[in-house]
Amino acid sequence: MTTSVAVLGATGSIGTSTLDVIAHHPDRFRASVLVAHRSVDALVALCQRFRPDLAIIADASLGAELARRLVAADVRCDVGAGSDAVIAAVSGPLCDTVVAAIVGAAGLESTLAAARAGKRLLLANKESIVMAGPLLLDALREGGGVLIPVDSEHNAIFQCLPGGRPDLNKAGVRRLILTASGGPFRGRTRAELGSITPDQACAHPKWSMGRKISVDSATLMNKGLEVIEAHYLFGAPADAIDVVVHPQSLVHSMVEYLDGSVLAQLGNPDMRTAIAHALAWPERIEAGVTPLDLPRSGPLAFEPADTDTFRCLALAFEALRAGGDATAILNAANEVAVDAFLAGTLPFLAIAEVVEHVLAELPPEPVVDVQTLVARDAVARQAARKVLHRAYC
Ligand SMILES: NC(=O)C1=CN([C@@H]2O[C@H](COP(=O)(O)OP(=O)(O)OC[C@H]3O[C@@H](n4cnc5c(N)ncnc54)[C@H](OP(=O)(O)O)[C@@H]3O)[C@@H](O)[C@H]2O)C=CC1
Ligand SMILES: CC(=O)[C@@H](O)[C@H](O)COP(=O)(O)O
Ligand SMILES: [Mn+2]
């Protein structure tokens, strides 16, 4: 029997890698639902190749165009438009597995819906768990499904723990150690980061990814979001999560146990490994990835993170320790600041300044429900835009 997979963010970097793994295993997986935001051309091309049951364009205004284009391309599948169509698809019978690979807070409601519906949830969209960790864990309990992390570090930790996501105390875990590449500006001083362009920030030394996460890697906010993600996914307190810079990006993360053992997961920096692992778990399948050749890989280096230059990592730890919805506020402010940086209206170093201002302006409140959280996300975005306008326009 084949597993039906809904790929949310099908036209993106994770979506493309997921579809590549699926294409290697037609007897085992089928891309039954494909979702994009506005990339009609790319979505039509994917539908021609993968013949899903349902194609959805999240921008509702493009639904008629998608339908027209699919008919012209001789693709017969159902067509949906708008975020309600995405939520209905992940909650319904067309898929067993949902790959949550929409970028940003836009992925929150579909991730929660997939969890509530008890689907096998492959989580790449880290912003949803950073925003709404407790709500996502509740939704998973309610739905009774399984979550398998796709983010490379969390997938690595998942692989280094006994039985997936156990109680860390019972499993004898002392620390989770997240590796960070250090991004394209590792080793630079603040003075050297004054005139960074979006293209420079997006030129990640090891991974090929979408522009938002690439900027996050360059500021080390990506690692900050991942610390928060690890806290919720594995139930680790902030003090039991460390970050170590590892420029080769071959060790994807580690788990330190009470007896001094440190287990690590290694592999070439190619997201198809984590995706294939998550799709097939607890089995293993071919991912199409070049095997790691350690003698030719050169030495593996490790160094501490420079949180004075890259303030975002320190801010993420502060938000995690502050509790309540502080991590959602951090995420919202960061999304606004990264958008402005990518649009060329905010300097690179000001991303951390905007986040810091907004966190100081909005003390944390308890996480109650999605509606309240979405409202707080909007308030934080407005506060971030005000800071931007005041200081940089
Ligand atoms: N890339 C990577 O290697 C990794 C990514 N991640 C995480 O995975 C997620 C995706 O990252 P990545 O693939 O790099 O991002 P990309 O920018 O490459 O792709 C984003 C995808 O999301 C879709 N999308 C954007 N906005 C919406 C919306 N409002 N509704 C529905 N779909 C939307 C885009 O559609 P369209 O093309 O139409 O705009 C596109 O398919 C992020 O949360 C990232 O942090 C985690 C680990 C590694
Ligand atoms: C591939 C992946 O999981 C990314 O999140 C990656 O970790 C980015 O690299 P750094 O944030 O370590 O630069
Ligand atoms: Mn990662």
Residue 346's domain comprises 323-392
Residue 207 Cβ contacting ligand 2 at under 6 Å: yes
Where is the domain boundary, 128, 149, 170?
A: 149
Residue 222 Cβ contacting ligand 2 at under 6 Å: yes
Same domain flag for 266 and 379: no
In the prediction, which pLDDT does 206 show? 97
Q: How far is the CA of 103 from the centre of ligand 1 (A)?
A: 4
E strands, the chain, in order: 3-8, 29-36, 54-57, 78-81, 97-100, 120-123, 147-149, 173-180, 241-245, 251-257, 262-266
Where is the domain boundary, 307, 340, 366?
A: 307
In the prediction, which pLDDT does 51 show? 98
Residue 163 inside a domain? The answer is yes
The β-bridge partners of 51 are: none
Answer whether residue 393 shows pLDDT above 80. Answer: no
Residue 181 Cβ contacting ligand 2 at under 6 Å: yes
Residue nearest ligand 1's atom 41 by CA: 9
CA 107 to chain centre: 10
Same domain flag for 357 and 247: no
Where is the domain boundary, 283, 307, 331?
A: 307
Tens-digit pLDDT profile for residues 171-220: 999 999 999 999 999 999 999 999 999 999 999 999 999 999 999 999 99
Q: What is the overall mean pLDDT for the chain?
A: 97
Residue 15 inside a domain? The answer is yes
Answer whether residue 52 shows pLDDT above 90. Answer: yes
Same domain flag for 287 and 357: no
Q: How far is the CA of 256 from the centre of ligand 1 (A)?
A: 31
The amino acid sitting at 291 is: P
Same domain flag for 165 and 61: no
In the prediction, which pLDDT does 70 show? 98
Give the chain's domain count: 3
CA 8 to chain centre: 12
ipTM over 0.90: yes
Same domain flag for 216 and 268: yes
In the prediction, which pLDDT does 163 show? 87
Same domain flag for 139 and 157: no
pTM over 0.95: yes
In the prediction, which pLDDT does 362 show? 98
Residue 155 inside a domain? The answer is yes
What lies within 8 Å, CB to CB, of 373 at 6+ separation is 131, 132, 135, 325, 328, 367
Answer whether residue 67 shows pLDDT above 80. Answer: yes
Same domain flag for 139 and 165: no
Cα separation, 125 vs 210, in Å, equals 12
